[in-house]
Amino acid sequence: MSTINHTTPRPMRERQGEGLEETLKQHAQAAVKALYGIDADDNQIQLQKTRPEFEGNITLVVFPFVKLARKAPAAVADEIGKAMTDSTIVGEPVIEKYNAVQGFLNMSIAPSFWLEQLQAIAATPDFGCNHSLPSGTVPEGRAGEGSPLMMVEYSSPNTNKPLHLGHVRNNLLGASIARIQQANGWKVVKTNIVNDRGIHICKSMLAWLKFGNGETPESSGKKGDHLIGDYYVRFDKEYRKQVAELMAGGMSEDDAKREAPLMKEAQAMLLKWEQGDREVRDLWAKMNSWVYAGFDETYKMMGVSFDKIYYESNTYLEGKKEIERGLSEGLFYRREDGSVWADLTGDGLDEKLLLRSDGTSVYMTQDIGTAKLRYQDYPIDKMVYVVGNEQEYHFKVLSLLLDKLGFPFGKELVHFSYGMVELPNGKMKSREGTVVDADDLMEQMIADAKQISKDKVNTLPDITPEEANEIARIVGLGALKYFILKVDPRKNMLFNPEESIDFNGNTGPFIQYTYARIQSVLRKAGNVAVSGLAVSELNDKEIALIQRLTDYPSVVKQAGDEFSPAVLCNYAYALAQEFNSFYHDYSILNEADEQKKNLRLLLSAEVAKVIKHAMSLLGIEMPNRM
């Protein structure tokens, strides 16, 4: 935060939209300067929410000034409180009254300040954002000026199977982080690296050749990624049979796995692919095209998109060039079998394989090539990889290898490491029986939402089947996204479908229902007055709601600083809870005092606006009625 100039603060009418915390910091700095000659910096001004057992909205911790003031903490708190209500010191005060409890100054903010804050929020359409820019607007080439550029990589699927539950958490986290960083002033390029080559791809291709009988997505009625995934499973099934037969003939398990005919054929196919064999390449292109069409459907349903997609089949060659360069420069070494390795033991790590003995590449090779191409394509200031925590070591090695190869961005890579996600045993098993399919999961969530909300939706006037289906889609996917994103991303989590779709508690549907409730009130009210309000007093719950609203920009900043969508989830839930408590205790449409009614309508509208914005950063849609 920038340094505060110690001048008389501006009158309140010039401060509209300036946060309460910033205003109080300025006033506290002016007070301690006038009282004790202290030029306090931001770190010395410690503000916190007032504890419930004391009167006040915000508390200033005065202990940092006690030693220099040479007075008891309670006396220092009282003196600072008096100075912060003195217009000759702070300009127009925002404190209506205060109380000093030992070294804590509990401050009650004037209703006029809260009202001005509410009107300022209402006059700010993108309240909570810091110069947000649309993603994908940055031209390729390192010539960008202005806002810094962040590239966020997420998804990273293999083209041998559909997206699964793990990909769901990955995609939701990556897409949300991209939106949050945009709201914090970054230019963002959302990118995906598709693992479209390698032994796992050849396994699907070989199984299709042997057992497919020309089956296609059109002939089978299956999505292309599901079809290819079925053949990947078929390969594994047939391969296990061959291994078992070889072991029954006296071969060791390791030898059987290595000598199984199917595995040898797959390895031979991979070698042909890398040598550019036309027949293998044509089959690869055809089958991958089926998978991409399937992925696109899944991404669309999930609400996920990318500005730039890289493919391992293009980047691995660039990586191999860098490995060969490193070998010639003595950074790496070649073993007797022809494989290339990096010795990182001197850096506290181990030895890392970079090229196999047959010359084929590994994931690390591809990642080195991809990183190089990305920094050629874009003026990246920060590169963020959204990848599970089981790959932490991989990214330590990648960062070190890039640095050794002379790339200045090597040490600046950020691995956004997140925990695994699982389902309760026995629930929503995929067609393969082992991995939860993303498409199955989303379809089931929408079906559950339709069933659970049936009684509520059917009471809506003039509801059509199409609108009911759309509400079910919004609620079902909202439940899934919110439940996954509300958990600290660093932690492993258990996704419980039934709990996620509950209309009570810390869930997406609860927040969506609160938003829909506000929209219903606003529809009945008609136009809402934004200016000209002249309310002389506010009740505690109105103040609490406005105070919560003023917190929103700092919450968005915190979510960006910590790379944590969970921060936004917690805020949206707390705001919805606070509104429902207010709604329960105070009338809005039936309030006799017109000024109070208009205030409450405006407050309701701004709560809805902020809830919608917070949830949009999470990729969650809001229904206008439920």
With beta carbons less than 8 A apart as the criterion, state whether 277 and 197 touch: no
- Would you mind telling me the total number of residues written for the chain in this entry? 626
Q: Is residue 125 part of a domain?
A: no
Domain count, the chain: 4
Query: Same domain for 208 and 185?
Result: no
Q: What is the pLDDT of residue 254?
A: 95
- If one counts every other C-beta atom within 10 angstroms of the C-beta of residue 569, the result is 26
48 forms beta bridges with: 59
Cα separation, 131 vs 133, in Å, equals 6
Q: Is residue 39 part of a domain?
A: yes
Query: Same domain for 467 and 584?
Result: yes
∠ CA 325-284-238, nearest 5°, is 105
Query: Same domain for 568 and 597?
Result: yes
Query: Same domain for 340 and 402?
Result: yes
Q: Is residue 584 part of a domain?
A: yes
Query: Same domain for 247 and 276?
Result: yes
CATH code of the domain in which 346 resides: 3.40.50.620
CATH code of the domain in which 73 resides: 3.30.1360.70
Q: What is the pLDDT of residue 528?
A: 73
Query: Same domain for 603 and 478?
Result: yes
**547: nearest Cα among 597, 601, 606:** 606
Q: What is the pLDDT of residue 335?
A: 96
- If one counts every other C-beta atom within 10 angstroms of the C-beta of residue 528, the result is 16
Q: Is residue 464 part of a domain?
A: yes
Q: Is residue 120 part of a domain?
A: no
538 lies in which domain range?
A: 444-617
Cα separation, 570 vs 213, in Å, equals 52
Query: Same domain for 521 and 566?
Result: yes
Q: Is residue 333 part of a domain?
A: yes
- If one counts every other C-beta atom within 10 angstroms of the C-beta of residue 122, the result is 19
Q: Which amino acid is at 25?
A: K
Q: What is the pLDDT of residue 457?
A: 67
CATH code of the domain in which 525 resides: 1.10.730.10
pTM confidence score:
0.87
Residues of the chain predicted below pLDDT 50: 1-17, 132-144, 426-432
Q: What is the pLDDT of residue 150?
A: 95
What does the pLDDT look like over 306-346, one tens digit per residue? 999 999 999 999 999 999 999 999 999 999 999 999 999 99
What is the token pair recorded at 611?
A: 């809830």
Q: Is residue 469 part of a domain?
A: yes
What does the pLDDT look like over 451-508, one tens digit per residue? 987 777 667 788 898 999 999 999 999 999 999 999 999 999 988 888 898 888 999 9
Q: What is the pLDDT of residue 12?
A: 32
Last residue of a domain, one of 418, 453, 479: 418
Last residue of a domain, one of 109, 125, 158: 109
What does the pLDDT look like over 96-129, one tens digit per residue? 999 999 999 999 999 889 998 999 999 988 898 8
Query: Same domain for 467 and 358?
Result: no
493 forms beta bridges with: 421
Query: Same domain for 202 and 185?
Result: no
Query: Same domain for 278 and 357?
Result: no
Cα separation, 194 vs 556, in Å, equals 30
Query: Same domain for 165 and 234?
Result: no
- DSSP code of residue 109: E
Query: Same domain for 469 and 380?
Result: no
Q: Is residue 118 part of a domain?
A: no
